Amino acid sequence: MSKIMKIILSIAAILIVSLGLKDDTQGIETAVLSLNQPMTNLVRIERLENKNAIAFYEWGAAPQEYFGIAMVKKNLFGWHFIGGSTSQTPKGYKLGWSYSDLRGEFSKYTEISYGKIFESDVESVLVTTNKGKRYPAKILEYDSGERLWFLITDGVDLAGSTVIGRSANGEIIEQIPG
């Protein structure tokens, strides 16, 4: 095969992969918007398995604002909503907290804890299970400085866990008992 042909094939492969990812993002957004919740804002997509993802999103307007997840799955006809949960944004808290069981929707992952971070001093979120095991949550920034946290597990029981938000120097800013 000639050098020019290899270059053309490489460029074609990159374009196909790029278009596929773009189509996935648009398809997932369409699936989330199909919920018809007013003023929906898709904030993050986490691909978990080849054809499965969790989309974090907000919807509503003050004083009735909500934050949640949509579980979506891809088949031959595109991305489709298969389940999810949403809860009203808590007033007076520095961390939002929600829990969902993923069993039945994902083959590898079992549970998720997640929420919005409302206090700018929160630098880390730690989830402690009923059995005393501690797991650091992933923190992501979106839009203009908004942040969310989440922990997805593959067999760890998160029901009734305690969620702790800490400052950079380790001070507990918020503790939500399970």
Position 89 scores a pLDDT of 86
Q: What is the pLDDT of residues 48-90, one digit of tens each?
A: 988 999 999 999 998 899 999 999 999 999 999 999 999 998 8
Count of domains in the chain?
A: 1
- Rounded to whole angstroms, how far apart are CA atoms 174 and 159? 19
In this structure, the dihedral spanned by the alpha carbons of residues 35, 41, 46 and 49, taken in order and rounded to 10 degrees, is: 20
Position 137 scores a pLDDT of 98
The H or E element containing residue 27 is helix 3-33
- Rounded to whole angstroms, how far apart are CA atoms 91 and 14? 46
The low-confidence residues of the chain, meaning pLDDT below 50, are: 12-22
Q: For residue 51, give the nearest of 71, 33, 70 by alpha carbon.
A: 71
pTM: 0.83
Q: Which domain holds residue 7?
A: 3-176
Other residues' Cβ atoms within 10 Å of the Cβ of residue 39: 10
Position 154 scores a pLDDT of 93
